[in-house]
Amino acid sequence: MTLIGADTKYLVVGLGLTGLSCVRFLTARGKWVAVTDSRPNPPNLGEVQNQFPDMEVQVGGFSREMFVQADVLVMSPGVALRTPAVQAAIQAGARVTSDIELFLSEFTGQVVAITGSNAKSTVTQWLGEAIQRSGRKVLIGGNIGTPVLDAVDQSFDVAVLELSSGQLELLPKLGADVATILNVSEDHMDRYDSMVQYQQAKQRIYFGAKQALFNRQELLTQPLVAPDVKVSSFGLNRPDLKQYGVLETPAGACLASGFKVLLPAAELALPGRHNIANALAVLALADAVQNPLEHTLAALRDFSGLPHRCQLVREQAGIRYFNDSKATNVGSTLAALTGLAQADCKAIVLLLGGQTKGQDLGPLAAVIAATCKAVYVYGADQQRFHEVAPQATYVDSMFDALNQANTTLQDGDILLLSPACASFDQFSNFEDRGEQFVAWVEGRR
């Protein structure tokens, strides 16, 4: 079936910003489009009804009849493919696609594809800014930023795309110029039956890629692709030729390509060993799309990071306050703890809690014991933390945790919000959680 067929019936599933962009894209090309959303009042319902008054729209649940009448389901990645109505449509012969595949069907520039359980937004934005410095026009999108279909008619030289496992499930063959998996740790275990299934979804990013970049210190990122695909790697250890890594020099640890020193790690704007790994990924990806090295290095020195990603909010009386609200899984919290840990000193006061999404919390235990002087746990699944943080104080809310922790903080301490959990039990999303944390730290709450 042709992706944009003349008589094809498209059902857009999900009416967030991405769903709205899909509606606009397809209708602008004269296609028959209907829309559905399981929520009774999705965010862009009024806009669709006003702009497309004759369009069939169904909300408040999924109708099997509506799904099986469609030729193509344009899926939101937030809707699992195992949803009964989706499965019924697939069995009836419907094709599944997404905004990313629709975008790539018309985009002619270079494509960089980035995924991972953690840090993919940081690396995507960091790389995009590095390439922009060379004068090329860059689209930074996918799972962040502008919906890609809202930018498809603009003339971009490079698209740097952050892709979630849910988005990758919807792509039969991505075909990126360069693709990477930064890391893989347990996440979305409420969506996948096993880590193997989750890893398989991530591995789809390498399908059809011209070049593949992986983290050589994480086996699950290694590409399972045809041997003729050009492959390179990055890691925090010493690199071989055509690899990216860290060389120890008399002046300290340095980022390197092969045996060539490129930048002292101390010059990176972002703190923590995890951000050295992120910077190495940016270096490797930038080289893969022939970005001039001087522009890449300038971005590595200047990039101040994204909100809610191990963001230094304030330093006062020798105490540093970090907002890592985007840490919605164990792997991300582990990265923050090890990245901020101080040698031979337990200086971190950690705030954990929310919805655990079926993750194994076990890996937190040893790192918490080694790095944290105190732990406060709040939220819906707090009982699950008893084994990994037996020393913790258990409270009702993040604000209870903040107020209690504040009475114990001393010069040299780090107060870290890195919840390892989804936020929806007490907040609208991780951004809301992070913004409320920042407001408290800044004395605005």
> Which residues are marked as active site?
120, 143, 188
Within 8 A by CB and 6+ apart from 390, the residues are none
- Enter the tokens of residue 57: 């729209």
Q: How far is CA 379 from CA 110, 287, 431, in A?
A: 43, 43, 17
- Is residue 82 exposed (0-12), middle (13-18) or buried (19+ Cβ within 10 Å)? exposed
On whether the CB atoms of residues 435 and 324 are closer than 8 A, the answer is: no
Instruction: Enter the DSSP assignment of 54.
Output: T
On whether the CB atoms of residues 47 and 35 are closer than 8 A, the answer is: no
201-224 exposure pattern, b = at least 16 Cβ within 10 A, e = fewer: bbbbbbbbbebbbbbbebebbbbe
CA distance 211 to 141: 20
Chain centroid to CA 94: 29
- Enter the tokens of residue 149: 């279909």
CA distance 124 to 299: 12
- Enter the tokens of residue 362: 């076990």
Paired strand residues for 376: 351, 393
CA distance 100 to 149: 8
Residue type for position 58: Q
- Is residue 271 exposed (0-12), middle (13-18) or buried (19+ Cβ within 10 Å)? middle
